[in-house]
Each structure stands twice: as structure tokens, then as C-alpha cells.
Amino acid sequence: MKNSTKKRSPVMILVVTLIAMVTGSICMNKVSPVLTYIVSDFSIDNSTYSGLLISVFVISGIILSIPMGILITKHGTFKTGFLSLVCIILGSILGAIAGNYALLIVSRIIEGVGLMFLATIGPAVVASSFSDESRGTAMGILMCFMAIGQIIAFNIAPVIASSSSWQNFWWVSAVLGIIALVLWVIFISGSDPNTNSPQETIDNDEDVAAGTSLKNILTNSGIWLVSLTIFAYTLSHMGVLNYLPTYLTEVAGLSTTTAGSITSIAFIVGIPVGIIGGVIADKCGSRKIVLGLSMVVLAVAFGLLQIFNSSSYAIFAVIYGVASMAQAGLCFTSVTEVVSVKDSGTASAVLNTAQWSGVFLSTILFGTLLGSFGWGTSFYIMIPIALFGAITTFINKRLK
């Protein structure tokens, strides 16, 4: 039987997947811009605990990314995507009614399951829908999901929190999840490759395929080096990014709304940067050079932060957006070069494990450093971490 996914427009698949992932990104990023309100309401007096509230969102991605990849292979993108969006909706509702820190943590984990599935589904679907010549550009567009969600969360959440309550933004994210779910049902239903095949044959064939794919990935040094790169990227970048609004509030004395808006400049700049990074890599025929150099530039940006003041933080936000927003798309595009197409789904799952491990540890690490050494040293420690990611890129012989 012909693959019914081929009858779908690649652009349509990209757009609907992007909308779903943006919804997940909003949920992931909505804590940081209103953290001061949450800390006050729940009397959180430990920076490690506040960091955990941000990081716990991705805990399921660390533990379940590879099983998620296998489940997606077995049950298809529509069913797993549907489940993902249901988790986002239920988690948002639970967070909106949470009356204590523990329940809010649980809601974050449920929301996180949703985005973790979508983050594994998205790159694999887009990579298989576009040709080699346009895959980098398409992946660059898809990886804008995080920046778009951050722009929405960092600009709208503080406004809602200051005018009413931070919980009301959780209701907003629940409604957005419902909209994304409706679009998913309308446009993605019936697009899975094996919807017209006998189920028993599908199960047997896909169980074998999933096991073979995992074995191929685990013995591939190229994917491990790309995974180390994205781990170094998220560990350093997300630590700085999630605490930047707090830094601007506590050190620079800016309001939470102003701090959120300034931080969001980096995300606005990051959208074209992520796309352009993919285009440049496509045009020059090298992911390695573009990705490696971008990690070096990120390290430089960490060192520059403290030379700026309250009148020029917007300039830093532009610089930081240029320095930090292309790496994720380049890493996921690199997967298509170091593994075969049939292994791309499992490879994305492994890469997500590394990515979410970095995200999870980032705010815990930065919060711990902040409590022990203060802002200056905490920012400087991020520099060698980013440079490590550059090294793992340049020594990757499987990467062009």
C-alpha cells in the first residue's frame, strides 16, 4: 500500500506540527516570567526549588524519550500527538487550580509529557516530509516553536499576572491546547504511514523495526556527539535564559513586565536566526561549521552579559538572540546526516533525551551556582560548557 502521508502537503504537516509544538512551548516557558509571583504565593525561599519548578517540566523527556520514540513508531504520529495535546490541556487545568507547590509540580510533569512526545514526533515527521535540499530550512522553521512560545509566554504571562493572577495564564494555555487538538484531529488524522495495513502485520513489523533502529543508534558515535552538543547547549543556554528575567528584575530593578519583554527580544530575533541558520547550512553544505561556530558565539555572549546596564539590556537581548537561537534546529538537522532515514525517529528520541537532560539540569545548576557564588560567576561558568559543545561538533567525523 502507498504511504498515505505522501498525499499530505509537507507545508501543511509542518504548520500543524509547529502550532502544536508552540502550544507545548508556551506551557514550558510560562513559569519563568511570573516566577516572582509564584515564589511569593507559595513562599518558596530556596532558588534550587524555584529552579526545579521550571526544570521538572522536562523530566519525562529524560526518562521516556527513547520509549516515546518506539511508541511513536508503533502507534503512529496521530495517536501519540493526540495524547500529547490532551496531556497539555489537563496539565494546564491542574496547574490553574493548584493550591500548593507540590500540585503545581505534578501539573508541570503532566504538561511536560505532552511536549516531550511532540518534540520527538515533530523533527521525525518534518525530516521525512522534506527533501535533503530543503530539510534544513524546514527544520529551522519547526525549531522556531520554542522561540514563538517564549515570545507569547514572556510577554503575555506577566501582563495577566500583574493585572489579575498568574493562574489565569494557565487557563489561557489550556484553551490554546484545545485549539491545537482540534487542528490536529482535522489535519493529521489519517496521515500515518500504516493506516491502511493489517494491524497484526504492522505490530510485528514495527516491533522489529524499532528494535533494529535502537541498536543502530546506540552503536553510532555520530549521534552521541550531536547529543553531547545539544546537551551542552541546553545546559548553558536554558540556565541563563530562564533566570534572565529574574536577573533583570533583581539586579537591574526592572519591573516583571519590562524584564519579560526585554528577554522576549531574544526570541523575536531568534525566529529569523533559526531559519537563516538552517538556510546557511543548506547553502554551504555543512552543518558542522555553522553549528560549531554558533556554539563559540554563544560562549562569547555569556561573557558579555554583565557589561550591559539597564539602558542597554535590549541591545544585549538582540545579541543573545543571534548567538543562541540556531543551535537546536542545526542539531536536529544533523541527525539526518549521521543516521539513515529509517532511524531518524529513534535518533530524534535519543537527541531529545540529551536535550531535555540539559534543560532539566540547567536551572537546577544555575540556581545552585547562584545561591553559592552570585550572578557573575554563574554566568561565567556557562562559557566553558558552551565551548565543550563546539568541540564535540568539530570532532564529529560523521557530520559534514
pLDDT for res 192: 61
Note whether residue 1 is domain-resident.
no
Range(s) of the domain holding residue 126: 7-394
Q: Is residue 359 part of a domain?
A: yes
pLDDT of 232 reads 97
Domain holding 246: CATH number?
Answer: 1.20.1250.20
SS (H, E, C) the chain: CCCHHHHCCHHHHHHHHHHHHHHHHHHHHCCHHHHHHHHHHHCCCCHHHHHHHHHHHHHHHHHHHHHHHHHHHHHCHHHHHHHHHHHHHHHHHHHHHCCCHHHHHHHHHHHHHHHHHHHHHHHHHHHHHCCHHHHHHHHHHHCHHHHHHHHHHHHHHHHHHHHCCCHHHHHHHHHHHHHHHHHHHHHHCCCCCCCCCCHHHHHHHHHHHHHHHHHHHHCCHHHHHHHHHHHHHHHHHHHHHHHHHHHHHHCCCCCHHHHHHHHHHHHHHHHHHHHHHHHHHHHHCCHHHHHHHHHHHHHHHHHHHHHCCCCCHHHHHHHHHHHHCCHHHHHHHHHHHHCCHHHHHHHHHHHHHHHHHHHHHHHHHHHHHHHHHCHHHHHHHHHHHHHHHHHHHHCCCCCC
> Of 103, 113, 125, which is closest to residue 53 (Cα–Cα)?
103
The answer to the question of residue 24 being in a domain is yes
**Is residue 2 assigned to a domain?**
no
Please check whether residue 232 is in contact with residue 386, taking contact to mean a CB–CB distance below 8 angstroms: yes
Q: What pLDDT shows up at residue 94?
A: 96
Flag whether 322 is in a domain. Answer: yes
Half-sphere exposure of 37 (CA within 13 A, CB side): 21
The count of domains in the chain is 1
- 369: closest CA among 361, 378, 360? 378
Asked, for residue 350, whether it belongs to a domain, the answer is: yes
Q: pLDDT by residue for the chain (400 residues), tens digit each?
A: 344 444 567 888 888 889 999 999 999 999 988 988 999 999 888 777 888 888 889 888 888 777 877 787 778 878 888 999 999 999 999 999 998 999 999 999 999 999 988 988 887 777 767 776 677 778 778 878 988 998 899 899 999 999 999 999 999 999 999 999 998 888 877 656 444 444 444 454 555 555 556 677 777 888 899 999 999 999 999 999 989 988 998 888 898 889 989 999 998 998 888 888 888 887 888 889 999 999 999 999 999 998 998 889 999 999 999 999 889 889 988 877 887 766 766 777 788 889 889 988 998 899 889 989 999 999 999 999 999 999 999 999 888 8
In a domain, 123, yes or no: yes
Residue 57 lies in a domain: yes
The pLDDT value recorded for residue 213 is 61
